[in-house]
Amino acid sequence: MKVFTKIVDLQAALSCDRKQEAKIGFVPTMGALHAGHASLVERSVKDNDVTVVSIFLNPTQFNDKSDLEHYPQTFEADCEMLENVGADYVFAPSVREIYPTPDTRVFDFPPVTTVMEGAKRPGHFNGVCQVVSRLFDIVQPDYAYFGEKDWQQIAVVKRLVQFMNSNIEIVECPIVREESGLAMSSRNERLSSDERMLAANIYKALKASVEKAKTLTLGETRNWVVAEINAHEGLEVEYFSIVDGLTLVDLDSWNDSEYVVGCITVYCGSTPIRLIDHIKYKG
């Protein structure tokens, strides 16, 4: 496995691979890797001749600067994991390498960029689009792999690919969960062991709500999930939206769509950590 910090060096290596007609897979990350990331890399290794993994903590997607400052960074452990799962190249650029000048581009794809996380974290998806478009231009992969935990982000990236008029295929990979059911996330590292157990109640409620939805209206189901999670001291729902899985628009009735997804954000712990998850009801 080779580690690159400069765009020119990575592109030189990829140019040689393309001359051999290699298929190139790409997994963009911000580091602090876990088994969920490993599953994405393993999928890419299986599908492609060459797999590139980026480790870049992108400042433009953090609307809360303290969140950026506290984001875990574990570069040596990340590289060890990536070598173990068969990654070929790690791209770990500096901020100046990715943004030699301030990125003033604005990406706006309503409603996918303006609802839920887009509404709660102003500027977040613009930053995501800035860095992903930059990385796509640098790597020029055939396939790019994203985890379904960041479900809304996948919808945004798909719109970005259309906007770029790109042939990159976005591959969605299933959520990897801890034994408790908690969706794996780099943010979980900031939870104490007791808080991790507490956070497991998020998916427990979501999973139970699928059965509840058979007899409750959509609105009643939404209210039940919020009440069930908020009943646990130390958990507070920021929002729970039940939306059309394609447009991400809020629904009023189960009959309004054939593809229905519930998306939730919950604050957990005494120093609240923001956790996201989702559940599919139909489709």
Residues composing the chain: 283
In DSSP terms, 242 is beta-bridged to 262
Residues identified as active-site: 37
Q: Are 113 and 152 in contact (CB under 8 A)?
A: no
**Greatest extent of the chain over all pairs of C-alpha atoms, in Å:** 59
User: Long-range contacts of range 204-208, CB-CB < 8 Å, 24 or more positions apart?
Assistant: 205/229, 206/262, 206/264, 206/277, 206/278, 206/279, 207/181, 207/279
Strands 143-147 and 24-29, bridge-based pairing: parallel
176 is in an annotated binding site: yes
206 is in an annotated binding site: no
Tell me what pLDDT residue 157 has: 98
CB burial of 64-94 (b: ≥16 within 10 Å; e: otherwise) equals eeeeeeebeebeeebbebbeebebbbbbbbe
Tens-binned pLDDT, residue by residue, of the chain (283 aa): 999 999 999 999 999 999 999 999 999 999 999 999 999 999 999 999 999 999 999 999 998 888 888 888 999 999 999 999 999 999 999 999 999 999 999 999 999 999 999 999 999 999 999 999 999 999 999 999 999 999 999 999 999 999 999 999 999 999 999 999 999 999 998 999 999 999 999 999 999 999 999 999 999 999 999 999 999 999 999 999 999 999 999 999 999 999 999 999 999 998 999 999 999 999 9
274 is in an annotated binding site: no
Q: Which domains does the chain have, with CATH numbers?
A: 2-173 (3.40.50.620), 186-278 (3.30.1300.10)
124 is in an annotated binding site: no
Q: Using alpha carbons only, give the angle 28, 115, 109 rounded to the nearest 5 degrees.
A: 65
Tell me what pLDDT residue 281 has: 98
Which two structure tokens, joined as six digits, stand for 235? 């958990």
For residue 209, the one-letter residue type is S
200 is in an annotated binding site: no
Strands (E) across 42-182 are located at 50-55, 89-91, 143-147, 169-173
36 is in an annotated binding site: yes
Tell me what pLDDT residue 66 has: 82
Q: Which of 157, 182, 189, 281 is nearest to 235 (CA)?
A: 182
Model's pTM, two decimal places? 0.94
